[in-house]
């Protein structure tokens, strides 16, 4: 995808683009300057607005506007978390349901950069196993964004490690692939074999 390139010297470039017979003509140069100075001012204003609404640097008010544009409300996240979620929502909106699209959303919304296993199951199911813990805010964001990233008709099973055994026992699957069954994750039913780790499992 191409990016906008700012031109800071429209008049100078305009002068160099003149054909040789017009070089050194004060009237031509004055006429060219009168037009290109307005072009320069318009471009400067456009880039100032773009900078003000840059998702990476904008303030909370402008970020909320960007969130509305891309369809992402703030569900109580702090500014930087919401900034990450808006970035991830943009990626989800552009998703084709491919593995790299899912990985991009995981990275943007959850800060997950490695130790991710994505496994395809029949019929039309993907298991996403995270090898690192994430914050509750990131988990909430992923629960919301991953369904918008997947291909239509594909079910997602998100496994994420939890530190709190009580929370893990309340949220993990049991020996059957049934989200309603609590207890420690049974390795025979797990896409991550031979692990004693407690996982919070989300069917999305």
Contact (CB, 8 A) for 59 and 112: no
**In this predicted model, what pLDDT tens digit does every residue of 108-156 receive, in sequence order?**
998 887 788 888 888 888 888 888 888 888 888 998 899 999 988 888 8
**In this predicted model, what pLDDT tens digit does every residue of 84-113 receive, in sequence order?**
999 999 999 999 999 999 999 999 998 887
- pLDDT, residue 186, reads 37
In this prediction, residue 158 has a pLDDT band, given cuts at 50, 70 and 90, of: confident
Contact (CB, 8 A) for 32 and 10: no
How many Cβ atoms sit within 10 Å of the Cβ of residue 191? Answer: 15
Q: Which two tokens stand for residue 53?
A: 């609404």
Q: Which of 71-80, 90-99, 112-121, 193-202 has the lowest mean pLDDT?
A: 193-202
- The Cα–Cα gap between 146 and 110 comes to 11
- pLDDT, residue 96, reads 92
- pLDDT, residue 199, reads 58
- The Cα–Cα gap between 115 and 194 comes to 16
Q: Which two tokens stand for residue 42?
A: 């318009």
- pLDDT, residue 101, reads 94
In this prediction, residue 48 has a pLDDT band, given cuts at 50, 70 and 90, of: confident
Using only C-alpha atoms, what is the Rg of the chain?
26
């Amino acid at each position: 995808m191409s990016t906008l390139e700012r031109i800071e010297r429209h008049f100078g470039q305009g002068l160099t683009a003149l054909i040789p017979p017009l070089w050194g003509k004060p009237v031509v140069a004055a006429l060219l300057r009168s037009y290109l100075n307005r072009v320069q001012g318009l471009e400067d204003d456009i880039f100032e607005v773009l900078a003000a609404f840059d998702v990476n640097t904008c303030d909370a008010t402008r970020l909320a506007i960007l969130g509305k544009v891309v369809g992402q409300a703030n569900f109580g996240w702090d500014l930087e978390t919401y900034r990450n979620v808006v970035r991830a929502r943009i990626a989800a909106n552009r998703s084709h349901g491919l593995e790299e699209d899912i990985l991009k959303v995981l990275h943007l919304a959850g800060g997950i950069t490695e130790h991710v296993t994505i496994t395809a199951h029949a019929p039309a199911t993907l298991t996403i196993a995270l090898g690192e813990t994430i914050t509750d805010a990131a988990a909430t964001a992923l629960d919301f964004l991953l369904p918008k990233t997947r291909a239509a008709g594909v079910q997602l099973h998100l496994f994420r490690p939890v530190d709190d055994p009580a929370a893990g026992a309340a949220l993990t699957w049991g020996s059957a692939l049934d989200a309603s069954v609590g207890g420690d994750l049974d390795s025979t039913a797990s896409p991550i074999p031979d692990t004693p780790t407690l996982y919070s499992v989300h069917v999305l």
